[in-house]
Amino acid sequence: RLGEYFLPNFPTGGMAIEDFLVMKSREGLEERLEFLFPDPDVRAKRRPEYDERLQVELDVINQMGFPGYFLIVMEFIQWSKDNDIPVGPGRGSGAGSLVAYALKITDLDPLEYDLLFERFLNPERVSMPDF
């Protein structure tokens, strides 16, 4: 139907797709934070800023019905990397997403560069996000 998005189902092992996105994002963020801030004290100090931003983004993504889109993109980007297909660090406003960074879709920390998630996706946006 015109104006509707049809995305394939992403396998989640019976878990709600929204919860699966949250789980994968939190796991990925933990990996990223360990790399960005090897010192546990620095990591603990910076964690609230990252956790808050991640939750805001996850709420918007899930509210707008795009968790499957992020998971599908995560999977094909990882497949590309695993198969020696060159993948850039990020493109356009998608680099402003901490969820994309946590899922290793992008390789730019949006908080370090003060990038805005809202330029990529927000409830007022009428079109699908793109990476």
How many domains would you assign to the chain? 1
Burial class (CB in 10 A: 0-12, 13-18, 19+), 127: exposed
Is 86 within the bounds of a domain?
A: yes
pLDDT of residue 127: 77
Residue 128 lies inside a defined structural domain of this protein: no
Domain of 105? 17-119
Is residue 128 very low, low, confident or very high in pLDDT (cuts 50, 70, 90)?
confident
Question: pLDDT tens digits for 11-58?
Answer: 999 999 999 999 999 999 999 999 999 999 999 999 999 999 999 999
Q: Is residue 82 part of a domain?
A: yes
φ/ψ (deg, to 5) at 91: -140, 130
Tokens of 35: 């790399």
Q: Is residue 124 part of a domain?
A: no
CA pair distance 64, 82, nearest whole angstrom: 30
- Judged against a pLDDT cut of 80, whether residue 85 lies above it is answered with yes
